[in-house]
Amino acid sequence: MSYLEESLSRGEKLHTVFRLSWVVWLRVVFWGVLAAACVSIALPLAALLACVALGEWVKLRSIEQAVTNKRVILKTGIVSRKTEEMKLSSIETVEIQQSVWGRMFGYGTVKVTGRGLSDVVFKDVDDPMKVKRAIESIEPST
């Protein structure tokens, strides 16, 4: 069971789960191709690069991000876990940050700012405008 499903309170429902952009998975492909290319040259180097590719894959698979009818949630980590959550009623702004490459390939960062000094930052999400609309379109429930 995912952290998102595990952490839902009574009456809370997942509204939208945010996916990472396909662009971030290119890191895994890069390290995997590099590892495959090094197999005939130096097996220990290829094994090291394969471990880097596997580590990147595990890191990306461990990221969970969503909005429910009560809060926004960002979870990272597998063995250790780091979560950032913000109640919808505490949200003040939802900002999009996109580079030129992000605009061309449809990914970016969505920064949710709440009261005080709190922020939840969804990095490299697919279709950041859709994420922004999903967060802003939910009526907070208590």
For residue range 53-108, list pLDDT tens digits in order: 999 999 999 999 999 999 999 999 988 999 999 999 899 999 999 999 999 999 99
79 and 46 in a common domain? no
pLDDT score for 51: 93
Last residue of a domain, one of 62, 94, 113: 62
38 and 2 in a common domain? no
Whether 94 contacts 111, CB under 8 Å: yes
112: which strand partners? 94, 120
How far from chain centre, in Å, is Cα 58?
13
pLDDT score for 18: 95
Measure the CA–CA gap between 36 and 123, rounded to whole angstroms.
29
pLDDT score for 44: 87
Domain CATH code at residue 125: 2.30.29.30
CA angle, residues 92, 95, 101, in degrees to nearest 5? 170
76 and 86 in a common domain? yes
pLDDT score for 103: 95
126 and 80 in a common domain? yes
Residue tagged 């597998």 (tokens): 78
Q: Predicted confidence band at 2 (pLDDT cuts at 50, 70, 90)?
A: confident
DSSP 8-state class, residue 137: T
Domain that holds residue 46: 22-62
Helix 43-61 × helix 26-38 angle, to 10°? 170
Give me the number of domains the chain comprises.
Answer: 2
Task: Write out pLDDT tens, residues 104-141.
Answer: 999 999 999 998 778 999 999 999 999 999 999 987 66
12 and 71 in a common domain? yes
In sign, the C-alpha dihedral spanning 131, 132, 137, 142 is positive
7 and 70 in a common domain? yes
86 and 29 in a common domain? no
pLDDT score for 142: 57
71 and 56 in a common domain? no
